[in-house]
Amino acid sequence: MPERFQVDLSGIVDLLSRHLYSGPQVYLRELLQNAVDAVTARREIDAGADATIRISTDVDAQGRTVLEIVDSGVGLTAAEAAELLATIGRSSKRDETFGLGRTQFIGQFGIGLLAAFMVADSIEVVSRSARGEAPAIRWIGHADGTFEVIEIPEREIEVGTTVRLLARTDTEHWLSHESVLALAIEYGSLLPFDVAVRVPIPGAAPVWRRITQAELPWQVEHARALDRERALAAHCERSFGFTPLAAIDLTLPLLGISGIAFVLPQAIAPASGRHRVYTKRMLLGARVDRVLPEWAFFVRAVLNTESLSPTASREQLHDDETLLAAREALGEQIKQWALEHLRDSSALARTVLETHHLAFRSLALGDDDMLDLVAEVLPFETTDGPLTLTAAAAASGGEIVYTTTTEAYRRVASVARAQGLVVVNAGYVYDSDLMQRLAARKTWHVRELASEDLVQVLGVVDIEREMQLASALAAARDLLLDDDCDVIVRRFSPDSVPAMLLRDAEGEHRRERDRERSASPDLWGGLLDAFAEPGVARSRTLVINDESAVARQLLGATGSAVFEAGLRSLYLNAVMLAGEGLRQSESAALSGALGSLLELALRKEHS
């Protein structure tokens, strides 16, 4: 004959507290959910019935802390109490006579009441059903897994339910007045019913403090837009602890979702948003993930949903197709707000763009409308000062030239600026990818800066000077042959820069490949030899400035002992100015060159 499983209630409670719920504090949410479901069910059979929930704490004759939650809900019969309250996982929403499987109920009686054992030794439920003439009942459950149900003949017990918890010694603080009031406000402040907590007054009778409001904060009508703005800002301060830059209305009627997204007043690193989500106006969680797209990390949202499914713990949302559709639709509304409000020159637009430009750059990587907005309104660092991409294109005759790294930009910025060449620094997060997206459009002309771009705008020395420098250039090219560096002479400003280093991206790649092949000729079995390109141009170019007094002196010292050391110092200084770190061999070469120059100078001084 089949036998039923034996359930260790203390083990189940431990499992709930350690692995299902985030902590014991959720006991009040579970009890409040049960009360809300009961009131909802009562309203369905009697639309004019009271919808009240009262929460109070006290101390019994033995000095033990006691919590009571009284609701004017539909109540329970003895049979319903025995089935719903003592059957783990049994849900009133699936009960044919009580819930009819409808979605307007929030919790599960079995699991919800069981959560109270995380803080209580015993639970007493006194209830009178609104259906028929069934007598009131008293259900008492204990932490050892036993329970009893008795009928109460007294007629004066009103329809509804009273849940009474007797705190465990180690959890009394969870049932203290301060904790109960804070938890009730946290979980139930947006409930549509009259929920109140009894507040003790020293030396006077206690008073009842209502913690709920009739309408959701973002649905309250105000006489002026400024009044609504201030009310929403105050709600954000209470919910998240910051004053928002702006508030964005969110609504998806088909999915029963409404809320508000608050724009953060400071920039934060891209990460999952932590949003405050309510299910049927009961708080689901204060740090819910994945309800908005990842790029929307610059906002914090407060949302109420009638349709999204919570996880088993009812502290996160189930990541299903409905949530995916909601996430995309809510993200679209945030994007439309940005497109509408960030194109003007208002103080709000400037502040939001300055603070959260990374978020909009991130969004522009996958959205054409946002790419247009970013190109139009976001400033980029350029050699002509901060410019939008639209302005940078106009300043350079319709073409945008950019560097993919900040180091490359720093290397050419001063010279390019002096020559009137507009170069965009795309070395920051997302910028290089944005440039590639723009380059793929037919209406934009965007390309990476090449060495010849700068060489072409530099002043060319005259033929006579070029002939004078022929032997010096030949000697310099021989000295830098092993560094794969060519040497040319140009005239450019500022004259305080004796030389600069230009690099070719493809040439640099080839240079690293050749170094690898030379360092480990047997490791690759000759594979890298197939990529060798004999006779190609050198990967680097040292441009010596003929306007610099230092450079001119060096070029005039060909054949002297100082030439080699001076050229080596000039080259390695240009490498460092380009933002590169010196290799160990290059650091040694620089030290040797400086030592040679110092020795020559001292020798000359003593001669």
Specify the pLDDT at position 340.
93
* Contact in structure between 160 and 70 (CB atoms under 8 Å): yes
Residues 573, 470 share a domain: yes
Residue among 364, 382, 362, 366 nearest 374 (CA): 364
Residue 2 forms part of a structural domain: no
CA pair distance 71, 160, nearest whole angstrom: 6
CA pair distance 292, 300, nearest whole angstrom: 9
Residues 245, 173 share a domain: no
Handedness of CA 478, 484, 488, 492 (dihedral sign): negative
CA pair distance 293, 476, nearest whole angstrom: 56
Residues 259, 293 share a domain: yes
Residues 261, 121 share a domain: no
pLDDT in tens, 418-431: 778 899 999 998 99
Residue 510 forms part of a structural domain: no
Specify the pLDDT at position 35.
93
**CATH number of the domain encompassing residue 378:** 3.40.50.11260
What domain range is 165 assigned to?
9-210
- Is residue 278 classed as helix, strand or coil in its secondary structure? strand
Residue 82 forms part of a structural domain: yes
Residue 497 forms part of a structural domain: yes
Specify the pLDDT at position 314.
76
* Contact in structure between 423 and 382 (CB atoms under 8 Å): yes
| Cis geometry, peptide bond prior to residue 494 (ω within 30 degrees of 0) | yes
Distances (CA, A) of 555 to 221, 493, 496, 541, 546: 79, 18, 16, 16, 9
CA pair distance 578, 538, nearest whole angstrom: 17
Residues 86, 199 share a domain: yes
Instruction: Provide the domain count of the chain.
Output: 4
Residue 513 forms part of a structural domain: no
**CATH number of the domain encompassing residue 238:** 3.30.230.80
At position 202, the amino acid (one-letter code) is P
Final residue of a structural domain among 175, 210, 245: 210
Residue 532 forms part of a structural domain: no
What lies within 8 Å, CB to CB, of 29 at 6+ separation is: 183, 187, 188, 282, 283, 314
How, if at all, do strands 65-71 and 120-128 pair? unpaired
Give the chain's residues under pLDDT 50.
89, 91-110, 524-533, 535
CB atoms within 10 A of CB 532: 11
Residues 156, 69 share a domain: yes
Residues 360, 232 share a domain: no
Residues 175, 31 share a domain: yes
**CATH number of the domain encompassing residue 496:** 1.20.120.790
Residues 485, 435 share a domain: no
Phi, psi of 120 (to 5 degrees): -125, 150
Residue 98 forms part of a structural domain: yes
Specify the pLDDT at position 347.
93
CA pair distance 411, 499, nearest whole angstrom: 11
**CATH number of the domain encompassing residue 163:** 3.30.565.10
Residues 201, 255 share a domain: no
Specify the pLDDT at position 435.
95
Residues 559, 412 share a domain: no
Specify the pLDDT at position 606.
58
H or E segment and range at residue 577 = helix 561-577
Phi, psi of 26 (to 5 degrees): -75, -10
Residue 530 forms part of a structural domain: no
